[in-house]
Amino acid sequence: MFLFSRGDHYNNRLTGQDQQFSGRVSFVEGQLRFGDASVTLSNAKMADSGLFSCHFPHVEPRYTAYVRLSVIKGGPQRSTLTNRSEIKGAAPRPHTKFVDVTEKGVELRCEVGGAYPQPEVEWQDSKEKALPAAGPMFSTDSEGRYHVILSVYVTASGNYTCIARQKDIGHKIDDVFYVHENLFSKDTCTVHVSSTVMTAGLVLGWVVAGILALYIFGKWIKKRLSKESSRQEADSPQAGTPESSNSLIQIDDRSDDKKLKYVAC
């Protein structure tokens, strides 16, 4: 689009400017001393819309700034806000969802992503009344597009609308989320508690069953080893018992002065 380097730029001696910007970019060199490196694009067209970057290659550390240009037919701002999704950078339809049931009420969340310029995000009830909410969370991606998250707590059933507005481009888009009355009944809390207790009971049951199984298995192993030990003792030779039929047993029987020997084969 435009290049300034050590006093030279596209409007005097430098060449290489993109033809679509030729003769349409002006630059005030004297403002650089005040830190102003602005350029002015004349005869802007819708085709000029997009993300522009400004680089400072001779500054340490190197610095890059981004700006998104949105060129709108009929002027820079429209008094009537409507869905203009065809415009580049227009916020997409918000994504609304249920988060949790808390002491503050039912938490709802609205997410708007990929929008430029920065959108205003708001929750409204069924009467189109703005709802108080904590400050929105903003973030930007590498292309300078905004991502917004806005949460709110509601205490009654009904339709709730998240609205994203971009007044600079006359864009407005919304999404409706219905909160059912069952979320506010006592049974809801009971179900949550019962589910938690049931889960804890199942876990405890599995732990007890595992311990009992290990105990029974240990008893069985012990009994099995005891039987094996008894069988081995029964099969092994005992003291004073013939090892085979060929063994000799001598029995001395003394009666008075006589000694009798009995030999059994």
Please state the length of the chain: 265
Beta strands 39-41 and 25-27, pairing class:
antiparallel
Residue 263 has pLDDT above 60, yes or no: no
Give the pLDDT confidence score for residue 177 in this predicted structure: 96
Q: Whose CA is closest to 39, among 50, 52, 58? A: 52
The label of the residue with tokens 């969340």 reads 109
Q: What is the pLDDT of residue 48?
A: 82
pLDDT at 242 (0 to 100): 46
User: What is the pLDDT at residue 72?
Assistant: 67
Lowest-pLDDT range of 9-18, 52-61, 195-204 = 195-204
Check residue 244 and give its pLDDT: 44
CA distance 212 to 181: 46
Range of weakest confidence among 85-89, 91-95, 175-179, 235-239 = 235-239
Residue 217: φ, ψ to 5° = -65, -40
What pLDDT does 37 receive? Answer: 74
Retrieve residue 197's tokens: 């207790």
pLDDT band at 236 (very low <50, low <70, confident <90, very high): low
Check residues 68 and 78 and name the one with the higher pLDDT: 68
Give yes or no for a contact between 70 and 117, defined as CB atoms under 8 angstroms apart. Answer: yes
d(C-alpha 70, C-alpha 41), whole Å = 12
**Taking the model in full, what pTM does it have?**
0.47
56 HSE (CA, 13 A, CB side): 13
Helix (H) or strand (E) holding 217: helix 186-235
E strands, 75-154, are 95-102, 105-115, 120-124, 137-140, 146-154
pLDDT over 60 (residue 247): no
Tens digit of each residue's pLDDT (9 = 90 or more) over 135-157: 899 998 888 889 999 999 999 99
Confidence of residue 77 (pLDDT cuts 50, 70, 90): low
Mean predicted confidence (pLDDT) in 182-211: 62
User: How confident is the model at residue 204, as a pLDDT?
Assistant: 77
Q: Give the 3-state secondary structure of 233-265.
A: HHHCCCCCCCCCCCCCEEEEEEECCEEEEEEEC
Counting runs of H as helices and runs of E as strands, what totals does the chain give?
A: 1, 15
Distance CA 88, CA 106 (A): 35
Task: Quick: pLDDT tens for 18-57.
Answer: 888 878 887 766 666 666 777 888 877 778 888 888 877 7
